[in-house]
Structure 1
Amino acid sequence: MQKMITILSGENNLSGVLHLPEYRNETIPLLIFVHGFVGSKVGEHRLFVKAARYFTERGYGVFRFDFSGCGESDGDYADVTITNQLKEVQDVINYLSSIRGIDKHRITIVGHSMGGAVASLTAASDTRIKQLILWSPVGKPYEDITGILGPKAVHEIVRQGSHDYQGFMISQAFLKDLKKHHPIESVRSFMGPTHIIHARADEQIPKEHAARYANSLNTRVNAEQVVEQYIDKADHTFSGYSFENELFDKSLAWLEGNQAERFVVQK
């Protein structure tokens, strides 16, 4: 089952899609997908749509949504900051936690790229998040995103206050806000199980961030050890059916295998 949902966050309506398994007798675990920089709930080459269908067929509920200024949601990208996106994720979790049939004790947040940074920061501060999965996550928001924008764009933003990046207006406030957030350090506050998968041929975000996240998480006391995984030859968005399938299969194996005793998925 697939249902379009609109969630009010501040003055903006966020567009989302809830996917539920066809057969379910009890409460189900939920995956919340968080997209990245200038992304959407569809994802590059429909990555999140394919992921939603993959996991729903295996007994999971999935929610994917557009941040404000993205996809079909209200707002303009000129007003986007990570701080605002963190508030929007909170409103999304508030809404989803009230849905009948969702197991509040089995909520996993899955973040790709900058969504990985947002997911990490969310998990670190919201105890409703029980598991965290990161796909090629941004680890140093300012350095990573300005690296994508390029020095000319950054100079224009500093000099003129904004830059038109592929039809998305990037503001000076956005860049300043990036400097406030340090997800690799902050994620240590999250005590739940975490899994990291990075594209080994990532051309946008350093694959070394996977080990940096794992090393940070492994400084926690009385928390499960984290071992990062890689997908050989995959680019940042895992373009290609073989890369997508490996990404989904590795994530599912971790969800069902590594956490089998704690989270029993009803088939």
Structure 2
Amino acid sequence: MEPLNVQHEGRTLRGTLHLPQEASAPAVVLCHGFSGNRTEFGHTFVRLGRRLAERGVAAYRFDFAGGGESDGEYGDITVTDQVSQVLAVLDAVGDHSGVDAERLSLLGMSLGGLTASLAAAKRQVRALALWAPAAIAVDPEVTRQRQAIIAEHGLHDFGGTPIFKRYADDAETIDAFADARGHAGPVLLAAGSEDNVFGPGVFDGYHGLYGSQLEYHKLNGVGHGFETVPAREHLLELTEAFLLRHM
């Protein structure tokens, strides 16, 4: 495990690279969720990175700008900017001497899942894993409601994290499914049966987008954060197996 920082538009994105002993390893980039950081809930990104490295796969987990230890203010985020950060991260990871640049994959949780799916449409990756992707973040009705709140109050206070006009205006330009077209590889989609962020319409959208590429797992009895020990272990197991099959 070693630090690997990425420069993006004058900001330092700070991250951690889990490297296997094998040379020229395949690698997966892990994208955290809204207002999160590179450890993710229950340290799942740390745990997954260690497990993959033991199986010969490198894993890079990083903090989006404004999150964790990276430069910037989180209130300045937009989805488009996060996609641009992921593309820069893919370049940096691919340039690492211990990584095979032809065997890169993406994984994202929640808003990181939406971001990863959009990035995978712009840069071919071997495989794409989506944990409860937050397509709702750019849903037109949600965006209209958010814009109204921001117009009245100057910001949308979302669980203690400010969302500003630039985010809502950017979201208005994005179609979570149409703009994710272009990824040709396999896709893992995992979500909890009680997830109020990942609704039936989100599954339908991704199923329509990816079709036979899609491997879907519904984890019963848990919500957006896969909130039980067995569910999180199952999530790690199925994700590890998926990535090992396809990288």
1:143 paired residue among 139, 142, 147 = 139
1:106-125 matches, within 5 Å, as 106-125=103-122
> Is 1:133 matched with 2:129?
yes
Aligned CA RMSD, in angstroms, stands at 2.3
Note the C-alpha offset of 1:170: 1.1
> Which residue number corresponds to residue 31 of structure 1?
28
Letter in structure 1 aligned against 2:119:
T
> Is 1:235 matched with 2:223?
yes
Q: 1:13 to 1:145 in 2, by over 3 A?
A: farther
SS at match of 2:213: coil
Note the C-alpha offset of 1:256: 3.2
For residues 187 and 74 of structure 1, what CA distance do their matches in structure 2 show?
27
Q: 1:245 to 1:214 in 2, by over 3 A?
A: same
Letter in structure 1 aligned against 2:161:
F
> Is 1:13 matched with 2:9?
no
Q: Aligned residues: percent identity?
A: 28
For residues 47 and 159 of structure 1, what CA distance do their matches in structure 2 show?
38
Runs of 4+ in 1 over 6 A off after TM superposition: none
SS at match of 1:234: coil
> Which residue number corresponds to residue 174 of structure 1?
167
Listed one character per residue, the Cα deviations across residues 15-70 of structure 1 (whole Å, up to 9, x for unaligned) are 1111112x32x321111001121111111222212222222222211101111111
SS at match of 1:53: helix
1:44 paired residue among 37, 41, 45 = 41
Q: 1:172 to 1:155 in 2, by over 3 A?
A: same
Unaligned regions of 5+ residues in structure 1, if any?
A: 219-223
Per the normalisation by structure 1, the TM-score is: 0.84
Per the normalisation by structure 2, the TM-score is: 0.90
Between 1:79-88 and 1:159-168, the stretch displaced more is 159-168
Contact 2:44 2:236 in 1 (8 A): no
Contact 1:41 1:65 in 2 (8 A): yes
For residues 205 and 215 of structure 2, what CA distance do their matches in structure 1 show?
11
Unaligned regions of 5+ residues in structure 2, if any?
A: none
SS at match of 2:139: helix
Listed one character per residue, the Cα deviations across residues 215-236 of structure 1 (whole Å, up to 9, x for unaligned) are 2112xxxxx5323211111221
